[in-house]
């Protein structure tokens, strides 16, 4: 990762990579959603409402994956003092919060016809809501520290907050096992999948597609933050001159 420590070297890779991730992700999302809507069969228990999983599952994955990215960036900032780690943490936070919110909304829409309620304070739903609040807190801290920093990065306090928030990730994953609540158990694990192959392959397309799209958004945000930092540094030099 230290190969990318130089912003100029990072940008030389990020600029050509971003459109490939963006358009490749959108293509896979379109193919996966189209197959999920028109080719995959309805679920034998949940009926047509189960088709929302093609959005809900990738959103849940990226909500948790986004915070994992924040935690990795925090470690690189605190331990190795990687110059782009703070920028990466800021870049991941907003799309991570967005996908967490999408997960909660689609889960509620899925729950109404399936469980008879839009919301239930069970372990999985509550821990995902806490994750959204953690994102909001991180974004506020990052914005505040970036305004005080000449480099536009986040403070050590913000990075530590990102690390502490990872406590919630295993709670989200294991909540269904720990508490026998309304949310269904895992359908996909390292031991295999309980989802039929006719429904699984469109889900795979949307998971990969949204992941590529998420990566493109993060790279775009990192490039934007670096450009703003460069412009602000130039303005400070002009003001001093």
Q: Percent of the chain having pLDDT more than 90?
A: 57
> Which pLDDT band, with edges at 50, 70 and 90, does 95 fall under?
very high
Residue 150 inside a domain? The answer is yes
Radius of gyration of the chain (CA): 20
Total of domains in the chain:
1
Residue 37 inside a domain? The answer is no
What element of type H or E holds 104? helix 85-115
Distance CA 197, CA 37 (A): 15
What is the domain extent for residue 117?
Answer: 46-184+196-240
pTM value is 0.90
Contact in structure between 104 and 132 (CB atoms under 8 Å): yes
Residue 220 inside a domain? The answer is yes
Residue 64 inside a domain? The answer is yes
Over the stretch 97-131, which tens digit does the pLDDT of each residue have? 999 999 999 999 988 887 788 888 888 889 999 99
Residue 164 inside a domain? The answer is yes
Residue 15 inside a domain? The answer is no
Residue 25 inside a domain? The answer is no
What pLDDT, on the 0 to 100 scale, is given for residue 197?
83
Residue 76 inside a domain? The answer is yes
> And the tokens for 139?
């974004």
């Amino acid at each position: 990762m230290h190969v990318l420590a130089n912003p100029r070297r990072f940008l030389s890779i990020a600029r050509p990579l971003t459109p490939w991730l963006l358009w490749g992700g959108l293509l896979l999302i379109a193919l996966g959603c189209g197959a999920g809507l028109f080719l995959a069969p309805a679920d034998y228990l949940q009926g047509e409402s189960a088709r929302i999983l093609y959005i809900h599952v990738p959103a849940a994955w990226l909500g948790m994956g986004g915070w994992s990215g924040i935690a990795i960036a925090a470690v690189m900032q605190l331990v190795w003092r990687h110059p782009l780690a703070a920028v990466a943490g800021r870049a991941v936070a907003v799309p991570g919060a967005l996908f967490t919110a999408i997960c909660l909304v689609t889960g509620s829409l899925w729950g109404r016809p399936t469980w008879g309620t839009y919301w239930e304070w069970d372990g999985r739903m509550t821990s995902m809501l806490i994750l959204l609040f953690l994102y909001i807190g991180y974004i506020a801290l990052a914005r505040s520290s970036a305004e005080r920093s000449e480099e536009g990065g986040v403070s050590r306090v913000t990075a530590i907050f990102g690390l502490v928030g990872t406590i919630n990730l295993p709670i989200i994953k294991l909540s269904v096992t720990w508490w026998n609540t309304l949310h269904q158990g895992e359908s996909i694990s390292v031991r295999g999948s309980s989802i039929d192959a006719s429904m699984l392959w469109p889900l795979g397309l949307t998971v990969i597609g949204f992941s590529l799209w998420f990566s493109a958004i993060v790279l775009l945000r990192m490039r934007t933050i670096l450009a703003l930092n460069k412009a602000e540094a130039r303005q400070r030099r002009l003001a001093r001159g």
